[in-house]
Structure 1
Amino acid sequence: MTERDEMLVATDSLRAVGDRVLLEPGIDAPHTRAVANAWRRYGFQVVGPDEQTGELPDVYCVVALGNEALGGGQGTPMRRDRVASVLESMAARGRGRAVLVTDTGPHVHGDADPDRAARRAADHTWWRHLSKRAATRDVLANTVRVGYAPFLGHRLAPEAEGELLRHLVTRRPVQPEELAAALRLLASHGFGNVAGETLPLDGGLDTGLVPMPSVRAPRPTTDPPPEGGRPDPFRLTGTTTLITGASSGIGASIARESARRGADVVLVARRRPELEKLADEIRELGRTAWVLPTDLSDPDRAGELVHEAWESTGGIDALAYAAGLVVFDGAGPNSANRNQLLALNTLSYAAACDALLGHWKQTGRPGTVAAISSLAAVSAPVANLASYGVSKAAAAQYTSHFATTAARHGVRANCVLPGFVRTPMTDVTNPAFLEATNRLVPTGRMSEPTEVAALVCYLLSPASAGLTGAQLRVDGGGHCLVGLPSLNVSDQTDEEGNRP
């Protein structure tokens, strides 16, 4: 084991699915060499198509850059026949990861050539369709969408560069170490039920920030980060995280994963016995745990909770808001239901953010926020979830606005939208309903709380420094790759596995 390996966080969620990466279209161009170096930063072995032997890669990485609005060059057209062949071979093997690194997204830039933009968009759509097929055979394909990244060959005149950076919440270019961290995340075991997702590593471009003339964009940092002794950016050592909803499910998993990565934790929920039991687990890991039993159905209590936690710990570095409630609407008036759900799922979350931002501004302490929303915020999969969906949509949108507001104080905020997750609630759910749900999920299964926790801890760590205002899904591709399943009855089987 190398000295670098010993410095890495030792947690199962960050264990790589393998170390062999096939890079398409090769390592000859400066921008593809930069992507290869990003993989090598975490010990992956990178080969190009010309160096590939008969052995299939653990990870297949396709690079498709060339957005002229960002100062990209002509780029290299995606070799669809080759990409399809490699993905099909990996799917036939029954395991693997695939990553598309692109600078093309949903945005319509004024300086982009429409024909070139359409070709890039067509390649991305083609990639997503292949992602859905691959996910059904245990090959998870996702996308890293980079913003302005000079190390990947983006070049703009100083005036144009300054204007572009004013449109970013972070007001700086993407850094090489941020791409390396994103690639490591997508090739890790903890990212085990995400398919078709796009990681927007673009400094918050999706927020649609209005660039005020008075705002000066910082100049890009040209000095490379020091190689020797650089701490693992996924590490949370020296930080304290406030975790709500920590008594079970996703919240408890976030607490355990945070502690494994070195964080001390403040555990918040209504049930003290469960919190005390979890606190004992955290302490056995060598971390400090505080227990603050609190009912967050009262938004006024959320602000008080933050002040109590700050006083008890000496300062909070991160908030993971996993408290939540699911209640179905009834046939009659649902105002009481909506008020209850909005209070816990949205208003208390916003009150906690308000209180934390006040402390962070006063002390100059940078902070991070990760909220657990739901796919119900962006879809309506079942009846009678309107009040719940509204509350979760409000929480997700609040997160993006909070990211824009708090960025000037060094604060980042992102949101995770899980699909069905295996928790005590799903244990009592009608099995027929869960089976029907999983048929719409390309990976064919629910997510585990540990998989949600792995993404949350990434968002709370320095590894995601270029990510803010994002809404990321953990759902096996159920929403990212939404659409009808195969309608060919010859592809279906009965409960015994027999075809009709």
Structure 2
Amino acid sequence: MATNLTGTVALITGASSGIGAATARRLAERGASVALVARRKARLEELAAEIEKAGGTALVVEADITDRTQAEAAVRQTVERFGRLDILVNNAGLMLLGPVVGADVEEWERMLAINVQGLLYTTRAALPHLLEAAEDGPRRVADIVNISSIAGRVAWNGYGVYNLTKFGVNGFTESLRQEVTQRHVRVSVLEPGGVDTELGSHNDHKPEVREAIGTFYEQTEVLVPDDIADGVAYIVTRPRRASIAELWVMPTDQA
């Protein structure tokens, strides 16, 4: 088993399922201690037990990152437990689709809170520790990986505010990359196409949207969370001299 992240610490948001859980497993397999951040504590505890049974090290951090205080506390708990932070994976996200005309504004606010504000809060809190790890750590490099979407590249009817959040994540990632990469904090965006996760179920209360999503999944051999976890692991295990600014991972049927 490869252990090229031995001695490092990774914090993964949205770690209770899907891409976040798969990424936590993959980074732990590579030797990283992992902080599992999400709201569903029971799921985090199950994942932590699985990782530790396999020989890894995991910390459960129950937190709602849309609350700045909780996001900051999650980073602080991680550093207090492990003494450092080398990798931040901003994975937590919400997808609520539908037309702009007559939309539920509360849904917009929830998406903005999770997809944008939560990412900003965790990133801001993590940056001092990542900069320190890049300067003094064993790898002399640190990583931020922001999980965006194909919806950060292409806009579709009915995806309006979700598109807004993911285009925003892409723009923020590129700006921050230019700010800190020469200090050896690498900042990457990973944009998946269709993945078999809970994301589509966020729209179960909207029959038309859910039907469209269901049709897509029936007609497409979609990705699985491990496919995206592989991408994250690839990004954060590059040599110090190599920075992956953008990784776009698509189902072959969708591309």
Shift, 1:337, TM fit: 2.9
Residues 397 and 282 of structure 1: CA distance in aligned 2, closer, same or farther (over 3 Å): same
Shift in CA distance, 333/447, structure 1 to aligned 2, threshold 3 Å: closer
Kept after mapping to 1: 8 A contact 2:64/2:70:
yes
Matched, 1:274 2:43: yes
Distance 2:98 2:216 in 1: 21
Q: How does 1:185-196 map to 2 (within 5 A)?
A: none
Residues 473-488 of structure 1 aligned to structure 2 (within 5 Å) = 473-477=248-252, 481=255
Residues 260, 362 of structure 1: CA spacing in aligned structure 2 closer, same or farther, 3 A cutoff?
closer
- Contact 1:416 1:471 (C-alpha < 8 Å) held by counterparts: yes
State the distance in 2 between where 1:453 and 1:392 align.
Answer: 19
Q: Counterpart of 2:94 in 1: which secondary structure?
A: coil
* Cross-structure match for 1:472: 247
**C-alpha distance in structure 2 between counterparts of 1:260 and 1:437, whole Å:** 30
Contact map agreement 1:266 1:289 (CA 8 A) in 2: yes
Match of 1:397 in 2: 171
- Tell me if the contact between 1:357 and 1:406 (Cα under 8 Å) persists in the aligned partners: no
Higher relative contact order (CA 8 A, sep 6+): 2
CA distance in 1, matches of 2:10, 2:131: 17
Q: Take 2:70 and 2:62, find their aligned partners in 1: how far apart are those partners?
A: 11
The answer as to whether partners of 1:294 and 1:305 remain within 8 angstroms in 2 is: yes
Change (3 A) 1:417 1:270: same
Secondary structure of 1:453 counterpart: helix
2:234 is matched with 458
Q: Secondary structure at the match of 1:462?
A: coil
Q: List alignment gaps of at least 5 residues for structure 1.
A: 1-7, 10-231, 482-500
Task: Indicate how the Cα distance of structure 1 residues 425 and 395 shifts in structure 2: closer, same or farther if over 3 A, else same.
Answer: closer
Larger Rg: 1
CA drift at 1:430: 4.8
SS at match of 2:28: helix
Distance 2:210 2:122 in 1: 35
Residues 167-316 of structure 1 mapped to structure 2, 5 A cutoff: 235-316=4-85
**Alignment partner of 1:352 out of 108, 122, 131:** 122
Note the aligned Cα RMSD (angstroms): 2.5
Q: Does residue 342 of the first structure (1) align with residue 112 of the second (2)?
A: yes
**Contact persistence 2:65–2:122 (CA under 8 A):** no
TM-score, reference length from structure 2? 0.85
Residue 317 of structure 1: which of 61, 86, 92 is its match? 86
- The percent of aligned pairs where both chains have the same amino acid is 32
3-state SS, counterpart of residue 371 of structure 1: strand
Q: CA deviation at 1:263?
A: 1.3
The one-letter code of the counterpart of 2:175 is H
Partner of 1:413: 187
Q: Which residue of 2 aligns with 1:182?
A: none
Partner SS for 1:238: coil
Contact 2:12 2:89 in 1 (8 A): yes
Distance 2:131 2:216 in 1: 48
Structure 1 residue 370 and structure 2 residue 135: aligned? no
In structure 2, what is the Cα distance between the partners aligned to 1:360 and 1:448? Answer: 29
User: How many Å separate the matches in 1 of 2:9 and 2:213?
Assistant: 39
Structure with the higher fraction of residues in helix conformation = 2
Structure 2: which 5+ runs fail to align?
none
Letter in 1 for 2:102: G
1:220-259 C-alpha deviation (Å, 9 max, x unpaired): xxxxxxxxxxxx8xx2121111011010001000011111
Q: C-alpha separation between the residues in 2 aligned to 1:416 and 1:273?
A: 28
Aligned residues: 243
Q: In structure 2, how many angstroms separate the alpha carbons of the residues matched to 1:445 and 1:350?
A: 33
